[in-house]
Amino acid sequence: MERRLFLCAVVLDYLLGDPINWPHPIVYIGKVIAFYEKQIRKTMRNLKFGGILLVFFSLITVIGSSHIILKLVRKIHPILESFFILYFIYALLAAKCLHIESKKVYQKLQEGEVEQAREKISYLVGRDTSKLGLEEITRATIETVAENTIDGVIAPMFYGVIGFCLGYPIEYMLFYKTVNTLDSMVGYIQQPYKDIGYASAKLDDILNYIPARIGSIFMILAGGMLGYDVKNAFSILKRDRRNHKSPNCAYPESAVAGLLHIQLGGSNIYFGQKLEKPTIGDKTRSFYPQDILSTIRIMYASQILFLVVSIGLLSWI
C-alpha cells in the first residue's frame, strides 16, 4: 500500500501540479504561522525566544490537527484514510509547481521580455530582482530550482519514507514542510526577521542536512542518466559544497553547476542590502535560458531515481 500511495502521489503531482482552487496544506500552514507570528510580535520583547515559541506552536497546531483529522477519517473507513494520505503526499510535493513557475521565467526570457521575466522570478526568490539582467535571472532561476529539488521534492519524500516506516507518513512530512515554510516566511538574517526567524532557520538547516547530501548525489546520478558531466559534478560538489552561508544549499547547487559547467552564487540584494556569496562551479561559459530547462530535467530525473529507491526500500521493510 505504501509503495502504491507514494507512486500515485508523484504521478498526480506530475499530472496536476497545484490547481489554484484546490485546498492546499501549505496555504493553511502559512496562515497558522502568520497568526502566531503576529501574536508573538505583539506580546513579546525577546523575539529570539519568541521564534522558538513560533516554531513550537506552529508544529503543535499543524501536526496535532492533521493527526486528529486522520484519526477521524480512519474511523469512517480505511479506504478514505488512504485517499487522505494520498492527497497529503501529493500536495506536499512541489516538482510540477516548480516546473511551471520556472518555465514561465524561461518563456519570457526566450521572448526577450526581460522585465516580465524579472516579475516572474520575483515570485520564486527572496532577492531584489528589479535590476537583474538576462544571465542573472537565469542564474537565480537555476539556483531556486536546484535548492527546491531538495526542499520541495527529495526532502518531503525522504521524511515520507521515514514516516511510512514508523506508521506516521503525513505527520513526518508535515513536520518537515511546516519547518520549511517557517524558514521561507521568517528565516532571514536581515531585520525584521533576524531574531524571530533564527530558530526556524536553524531547525530547517538540521532537517535538510541529510536530504541535501543524499539528494545532491541523486541529482548527479540522475544528471549522468541525462548525459551531463557526472565526473565534473562530483569534483565541484567536493570542492564547493561549503560555499554558502547555509550548510545545505551549496550541495544541490554544486551538483547542478558541475553537471552543466556553469557558475552559481555571487552577489545578490536582499531587503535593500547587498550580500556577496561565494561562487559555486567554474565560469566556463555564459548562461543560456535553456539551462533552466536542463535544471528542471535534472529535478525530475532525481525525483524518479529517488522514488525507485524509496519504493525498493519500502518493499524490503
Whole-number pLDDT of residue 30 = 97
User: What is the per-residue pLDDT for 190?
Assistant: 82
- Single-letter code of the amino acid located at 135: E
| CA distance to 13, 51, 163, 275, 298, per residue, from 142 (Å) | 21, 31, 30, 18, 11
pLDDT of residue 25: 95
Q: Which residues have C-beta within 8 Å of that of residue 166, sequence separation ≥ 6?
A: 172
The pLDDT, as a whole number, for residue 273 is: 59
Whole-angstrom distance, CA of residue 186 vs CA of residue 204 = 11
Rg of the chain on CA atoms, in Å: 19
Considering only CA atoms, which of 286, 310, 96, 74 is closest in space to residue 214?
310
Q: Is the dihedral angle over the CA atoms 279, 285, 129, 143 positive or is it negative?
A: negative
What's the half-sphere exposure (Cβ side, CA atoms, 13 Å) at 186? 31
**C-alpha to C-alpha distance for 290 and 183, rounded to whole angstroms:** 30
Cell of 178: 511546516
Q: Where are the domains of the chain?
A: 2-316
Please tell me the distance from the alpha carbon of residue 282 to that of residue 280, in angstroms, as a whole number. 7
User: Quick one: pLDDT at residue 128?
Assistant: 75
Dihedrals phi, psi of 187, to nearest 5 degrees: -85, 55
| Residues 33-61: b if buried by 16+ CB within 10 A, e if exposed | beebbeebeeeeeebeebbbbbbebbbeb
Burial zone of 245 (CB within 10 Å; 0-12 exposed, 13-18 middle, 19+ buried): exposed
Mean pLDDT by 10 residues, the chain (317 residues): 87 90 92 98 95 98 96 92 94 96 96 93 82 90 97 97 93 98 91 94 98 98 98 98 93 98 79 73 95 98 97 86
Instruction: Tell me the three cell numbers of residue 187.
Output: 528565516
Q: What is the pLDDT of residue 266?
A: 74
pTM exceeding 0.95: no
